[in-house]
Chain A
Amino acid sequence: MLSHGMKQTGNVSLHHLQSVILAVANPWVAMGILLLLAFFASYMNSLSWADLTYVLPATSLGYVLLALVAKFALHEQVSPLRWLGIALISGGVGFVAGGPALTSHSHHDAAREPEPARAAVSAGAER
């Protein structure tokens, strides 16, 4: 997800500007960097209260959102194989979300769980 964002911002900067220093001044690149930082901050926040094997599948929802944005906002073709990929990721996230978020510590409040994951995903999706 991070590399995808970097690739997009990288392409944008190549189209509009030649130098790397000027590229940072490009609002698209600057916004990309800001959103990457937002993703990283919410990712670290999630890791502070949930297992890595719980957080990672949840962040993979970013791939699903990316495909949906490509389909409905950019009107790109989404092949059947990619729809299968979306279904597999959603199924996997559903599996892990049904279990406990943290090993060995006392159980966290279930109502709190979706919030940082969703923040991380939306930060990834807007790129």
Chain B
Amino acid sequence: MSHVYTSVVSTWGGILVVVLASVVGDIFLARAMKQVGDVHALWGRAGLWTVVARVLSNSNFFLGVTAMAVAFFSLLFALSWGDVSLVAPAAASLTFIGNAFAAKIFLHEKVDRRRWIAAVLVAAGVGLLAG
């Protein structure tokens, strides 16, 4: 009984860590690219290497990539703790919901009703497809 309880807690704990890390990663990457500015325009104006240099010199970019790496490896751990058919779709679809909240709070994006509906629909769809 207690063994089952422990495995449920560790599985959902793992899913939570994956979701948190990938949401944090997405937020930092989005913030980094907003600071870099429109890549298409910058490329046309200053060339590809300026774009690359500006992305690589952005500290938010490295925080984002680090968080993404944490998300990837914690996904591997979570997959070893729980069933693939639960962990993969739960982590993928909860990330969409978490990102909508985080983008509203931290990036001050205007998440209107249209985007909430999209986030929920996509999360449900990904949950069904990834399962």
Residue in B75, B103, B120 whose beta carbon sits within 8 Å of that of A92 in the complex: B120
Q: A44–B29 contact, CB under 8 A?
A: yes
B103-125: CB near A (< 8 Å → 1, else 0) gives 11001111110110111111011
| Complex Cα gap A93–B108 (Å) | 21
Q: A53–B39 contact, CB under 8 A?
A: no
| Complex Cα gap A89–B128 (Å) | 10
| Complex Cα gap A63–B131 (Å) | 11
Residues of A within 8 A of B127 (CB): 85
Q: B39–A44 contact, CB under 8 A?
A: yes
Q: B109–A51 contact, CB under 8 A?
A: yes
Is A2 on the interface with B (CB-CB < 8 A)?
A: yes
- By secondary structure, the B interface counts as helix
Q: Which residue, of B38, B75, B107, has the highest number of chain A Cβ atoms within 10 A?
A: B38
Tell me which residues from 48 to 105 in chain A have a Cβ below 8 Å from any Cβ of chain B: 48-49, 51-57, 60, 63-64, 66-67, 81-82, 84-93, 95-96, 98-99, 103-104
Is A38 on the interface with B (CB-CB < 8 A)?
A: no
How many residues from B make CB contacts under 8 Å with A? 42
Is B20 on the interface with A (CB-CB < 8 A)?
A: no
Is B15 on the interface with A (CB-CB < 8 A)?
A: no
Residues of A within 8 A of B39 (CB): 44-45, 48-49
| Complex Cα gap A45–B29 (Å) | 11
Minimum C-beta distance from A124 to chain B (A): 13
How many residues from A make CB contacts under 8 Å with B? 39
Please give me the residue from chain B that is nearest to A54 by CB atom. Answer: B115
Residues of A within 8 A of B109 (CB): 51-53, 103
Q: B130–A53 contact, CB under 8 A?
A: no
Known: A48-B39, A52-B103. A84 touches B122 (CB 8 A): no
Residues of B within 8 A of A6 (CB): 72
Residues of A within 8 A of B111 (CB): 53
Please give me the residue from chain B that is nearest to A85 by CB atom. Answer: B128
Residues of A within 8 A of B112 (CB): 99
17 contacts between A and B (CB under 8 A): A44-B39, A45-B39, A47-B34, A48-B38, A49-B39, A49-B40, A52-B27, A52-B109, A56-B96, A57-B122, A66-B129, A82-B129, A88-B128, A95-B121, A98-B114, A103-B110, A104-B108
